[in-house]
Amino acid sequence: MYSSGRFACSYLQQAIVSRPYFYHRSTDLVTNALQNRKMASTGETRPKVFVTRSDIPQIGLDLLKAECDVTVWEQPSPVPRTELLRNIVGKDALFCTLCDKIDSDVLEKASPSLKVIGTMSVGYDHIDVGGCKAQGIRVGYTPDVLTDATAELTMALLLATTRRLFEANKEVYNGGWKSWAPTWMCGQGLKGSTVGIVGFGRIGQEVAKRIVPFKPSRILYTGRTERKSEAAEVNAEYVNFDILLKESDVVVVLCALSPETVNMFNEESFAKMKKSAVFINASRGAVVDQKALYEALRNGVITSAGLDVTTPEPLPVDDPLTKLSNIVILPHIGSADLRTRIEMSRITACNILQGIIGTQMIAEV
């Protein structure tokens, strides 16, 4: 572990306290830790960091380069597996994204030098967290900061799907728009509907708040635990999974990926939903059995679907789902708000630097 005197942190401290876009509730803890450490350059070996792609927002790279020797995969795309395994050797830290699979092979190559992994994501199912803990490797991530951006995108996807916006847009360009017709391109409104949210964490709660102004008749939610105080803010009802499926006009999935949620939306689940139901997934692709979803959409078991996440990613252009007209598929852009991505880069870099010197991260798994 690097001691507090090994490298200067004036730039890091300035970046943390400046709060350029968002204020993270854990930032003061980091700032206090830095204020208690007078860090000055001593000429000792600087920590070595590998960054798995070149197109992360610059603030993260600048923070790391000010304090560490940084090696970057100089392509705006995920680092090839062979390059990851080669470059991780001898590094103290790794800056990665959800595109990078950090498994036992990577950890074995990284041992014994690797001290910390920072992932520029809220999810960390791409990292062997158990293996990291066994080797004493700390893992930082970026929750909270992308909550609003993802909630906004979820609402956009929900409205685009229920009101058939992408279908209608295509008709403008392919000659399908002939004249006004009473039922042509009619979708479903949210007013008076029942919206079911699977996963009532930070993002689920923010989506519920954004749904309220559309005047639904009911908001249902389900998850591992009942959240009475948060639900009361939006008059949401806690129900079991089966009831939510049977009674919801729109099912919005925002749960975490876990062994319990893998393929939780399968043939049986879709069969329990209304034929008029709209299915929205903005969580993780693996919570859905995509073959079952395809059959449900093709055979009219449910009306339509909107996905911001798929398995795999990117989804092959010849995947059967891409041939359907009653589905909206987005390329996992839930957090693709520029200010949000900049803040994610900053937090990831700060997590890494704090992990190296052994102080509390902004957000640690």
| pLDDT mean for each 10 residues of the chain (365 residues) | 44 44 43 44 78 97 97 95 98 97 98 97 95 98 95 98 97 95 96 98 97 98 96 98 98 96 98 98 98 98 98 97 98 96 98 97 97
Burial 254-286 (b: 16+ CB within 10 A, else e): bbbbeeebeebbbeebbeebbeebbbbbbbbbb
* 126 flagged as catalytic: no
Q: Please return the burial class of 196, using the count of CB atoms within 10 Å of its CB with bins 0-12, 13-18 and 19+.
A: buried
How much is the pLDDT for 37? Answer: 45
Q: Which amino acid is at 12?
A: L
In the set 6, 48, 332, 346, the catalytic residue is 332
Closest CA to 290 of 324, 337, 248: 324
CATH no. of 10-144+340-357: 3.40.50.720
Q: Note the CATH architecture for domain 147-329.
A: 3-Layer(aba) Sandwich (3.40)
- Dist CA 15 CA 9 (whole Å): 10
Tokens of 119: 């992932």
Gap between the terminal Cα atoms of the chain: 19
pLDDT value at residue 154: 98
Q: Which sequence spans correspond to the domains of the chain?
A: 10-144+340-357, 147-329
Q: Angle 221-224-228 (CA atoms, 0-180°, nearest 5)?
A: 55
E-strand stretches of the chain: 48-51, 69-72, 93-96, 116-119, 138-140, 194-198, 218-222, 236-238, 250-253, 278-281, 304-307, 327-329
d(CA 88, CA 120): 17
Do the domains 10-144+340-357 and 147-329 sit in the same CATH topology, yes or no? yes
Which residue carries 């902004």 as its tokens? 362
CB 71 within 8 A of CB 49: yes
pLDDT value of position 2 = 53
Task: Specify the pLDDT at position 106.
Answer: 98
